[in-house]
Amino acid sequence: MAAGDRIPAGETPAWSSPILHADLDAFYASVEALNNPRLRGAPVIVAGLGSRGVVTSASYEARRYGVRSAMPVARARRLCPAGVFVQPNFPAYIEKSHRVKEVFDSFSTVVEPLSLDEAFLDVRRAHRIWPNPPTIAEALKDRVLTETGLILSVGVAPNKFLAKLASRLAKPNGVVVVDPRKVTEFLAPLEVGCLWGVGEQTATVLGRLGLRTIGDVAAASPAYLERVLGAHGAHLSALAAGRDDREVVANLEAKSVGAEETYGQDLTERAQISAALLKLADRVASRLRSQGISGQTVSLKVRLGDFTTFSRSRTLKFEIDSATGIYGVAGELLARFLTEKPGRSVRLLGISVSNLCRWPASQQLLPTEQPGWGAAELTLDAVRRRFGDDAIGFGALLAAP
């Protein structure tokens, strides 16, 4: 079934559990083009601009050159010399995501966001307004484009697995409908890699068994798959048959909010590393406050120059959403780590906050904080919203990498 396929008139099936998976096309790159008209139609590549950065998003003009998300920037530059490389602007992406979510909410009361650019919608209760789920998908695409300027691809199916798979096949700018009566026909010719949980290693194992398509997996004995792959085999057998009983969960809370950065040159000086950590803490705190949430667990990720990676975390008795508070906890974790690994260079740092709850955070102060910092950071947020992210920041970050 190709992107844009529709169920012919007169053949509309009975939809007992219609689910949409809505996915914004090249979201970050599209937002950049909306905010800067000079980028429209250009091969836009959103990425960390250091020599070790990776691509976060690429416009379809850039994808024609083979540029893909998670690709090293150095390789993207080789593939697309004319590419326009842009630093990520997460506050702008969050603002657009909120506007898109408002559109989703106008179509269904049961919306489950998966990330800033995708969500499931349960549209079982919309049948009184719309004749069928495919019509809802078309209307959703039109509304998102009209109200936000963004392009949406939508999968329509009887369950979450099929809907997400359909939206992937719908890209770019399409709708793919999985007829509930023709699930087997839809799945059978697709490669096994389309099944959730099948990575390169599992695909290789299945290929050795002669199972190269989803139809092959569906035809195999569930007991045989379980014997070969353990519990994962039973899971794949169910998906290959088009079975997925998970419900769309409204307002599913994010598990964590974080940020990380890979540096163009390894960080070796303690002051340099601390400044980089404060920069990340500021970024995470700003994202927390922009989403109206705070958290109790601060986690630190460190990747050394030899690519070994370590994680440390600490759970507090209260919630925080301030850069100084997050930096204080992460700094203690980092100091302990650097004591354990003296003289080692740092290639990547990351901070995340989990155990989230609704903002505002607790008024309790960490030992590293000073009274008044909370109000100061709210003022910082207001200035950034008006004048941009680089308009104001911490003085200690002036020399940060």
Give the pLDDT band (50/70/90) at residue 387.
very low
Give the pLDDT band (50/70/90) at residue 105.
confident
User: 397 versus 260: which is more confidently predicted?
Assistant: 260
Provide the mean pLDDT of the chain: 84
Average pLDDT for 8-18 = 62
Exactly one of 61, 112, 118, 261 is catalytic; name it. Answer: 118
Residue 336, C-beta contacts closer than 8 angstroms, at least 6 positions apart: 312
Catalytic-residue membership of 112: no
Q: Is the dihedral of CA 202, 207, 209, 214 positive or negative?
A: positive
Give the pLDDT band (50/70/90) at residue 51.
low
Token representation of residue 56: 């976060």
Q: Which of 24, 63, 246 is nearest to 144 (CA)?
A: 24
Q: Characterise 188 by phi-psi region: left (phi > 0), alpha (psi -120 to 50), beta (else).
A: alpha
User: 207 versus 50: which is more confidently predicted?
Assistant: 207
| pLDDT at residue 49, rounded to an integer | 76
Average pLDDT for 183-189 = 96
The angle at the Cα of 233, spanning 229 to 236, to the nearest 5 degrees, equals 140
Whether residue 393 has pLDDT greater than 90: no
Q: What percent of the chain has pLDDT over 90?
A: 55
Least confident range of 17-21, 183-187, 294-298, 387-391: 387-391
Whether residue 292 has pLDDT greater than 60: yes
User: 131 versus 213: which is more confidently predicted?
Assistant: 213
List 46's β-bridge partners, or say none.
57, 86
Nearest-angstrom CA–CA distance, 214 and 185: 10
| pLDDT at residue 109, rounded to an integer | 80
- To 10 degrees, the CA torsion angle through 287, 290, 293, 295? 20
Whether residue 392 has pLDDT greater than 50: no
Strand 256-267 versus strand 346-358 pairing type: antiparallel
Q: Where are the beta strands (DSSP E) in 69-179?
A: 84-86, 111-115, 118-122, 152-157, 175-177
Is residue 248 within 8 A of residue 257, CB to CB? The reply is: no
Q: Which of 48, 96, 94 is nearest to 74 (CA)?
A: 48
Give the pLDDT band (50/70/90) at residue 186.
very high
Domains of the chain: 19-25+92-184 (3.30.70.270), 27-90 (3.40.1170.60), 193-240 (1.10.150.20), 256-397 (3.30.1490.100)
| pLDDT at residue 322, rounded to an integer | 87
Give the pLDDT band (50/70/90) at residue 152.
very high
| pLDDT at residue 381, rounded to an integer | 55
Whether residue 349 has pLDDT greater than 80: yes
Integer CA distances (angstroms), 36 to 61, 285, 391, in order: 16, 26, 18
Integer CA distances (angstroms), 373 to 186, 318, 359, 363, 368, in order: 56, 17, 16, 11, 11
| pLDDT at residue 81, rounded to an integer | 96
| pLDDT at residue 358, rounded to an integer | 67
